[in-house]
Amino acid sequence: MAANRYFRRESTGMKHETKITREQMVELLNEDLAREYQAIIAYTVYSQTIKGAAFTDIAGELAIHAGEELAHALLIAKQIDYFNGKPTTIPKEVKTSDKAEDMLRFDLENEKQTIINYRARIRQAEELGEFALSEVLRTIIAQEQEHLTDLADALGIDNPNFSE
C-alpha cells in the first residue's frame, strides 16, 4: 500500500518524520478517489440487485450511500485539482456476488479500508499544513463511519474494531 510509505515512523524513542510532498498527496488522493468510484459503483449495483425480504430496507440505504459517495468523489477531485493534479478516472475493482450478505461484507471491508486511509490522509494533510484538506476529509470520514455502522447493523454484527 503506497500510503504506508508516508507515515510518521517512530523507532527507539526518536521521531523520524517522512513528510510527503504535494505530488505524493495527489497520488494518495487519487487512490482515495478510485476507492470512492468503487463505492459508487458497488452501492449502485448492490442497491438494485440485493434480494430478500430481510434486505429491503438496506437496499434503499445503499442507494442513498451511492449518492453520498458521489459527493465524496467530487470533494476529493476538487482537492486534487487544488494541488494542481489530475483526478483519476479509473475505479478500484468492484467485487460482486449473488449473495446479499457477501455484498454487504464487501462494502463493510471497503468502508473499513477507506476509514483507515482517510485517517492517514488527515495526518498527512496536517503535516503539510493543508488544514482545509484535513477538514474536508473529516467531514467525509464521519459519513464513512455512518456507512460502516449501517452495514454492520444490516449484517447483525458489531462495528468492526480496527486499528491502522
Is the domain covering 20-155 a CATH 1.20.1260.10 domain? Answer: yes
Measured distance CA(20)–CA(14) in Å, rounded? 19
Query: What percentage of the chain reaches a pLDDT higher than 70?
Result: 87
What would the pLDDT profile of 115-126 be if each residue is shown by its tens digit?
Answer: 999 999 999 999
- What integer pLDDT is reported at residue 34 of this predicted model? 98
- What integer pLDDT is reported at residue 3 of this predicted model? 45
> What one-character-per-residue DSSP string does 52-118 give?
SGGGHHHHHHHHHHHHHHHHHHHHHHHHHHHTT------PPPPP--SSHHHHHHHHHHHHHHHHHHH
Q: Name the average pLDDT for the chain.
A: 90
Measured distance CA(148)–CA(119) in Å, rounded? 15
- What integer pLDDT is reported at residue 41 of this predicted model? 98
Domain map of the chain by residue range? 20-155
- What integer pLDDT is reported at residue 161 of this predicted model? 85
For residue 54, CA distances in Å to 36, 64, 69 come to 27, 18, 24
What would the pLDDT profile of 1-52 be if each residue is shown by its tens digit?
Answer: 444 444 444 333 444 456 899 999 999 999 999 999 999 999 999 999 999 8
Angle between helices 22-49 and 100-127 (to 10 degrees): 160
Cell 503539510 belongs to residue: 128
What would the pLDDT profile of 134-159 be if each residue is shown by its tens digit?
Answer: 999 999 999 999 999 999 999 999 99
Residue 94 has pLDDT above 50, yes or no: yes
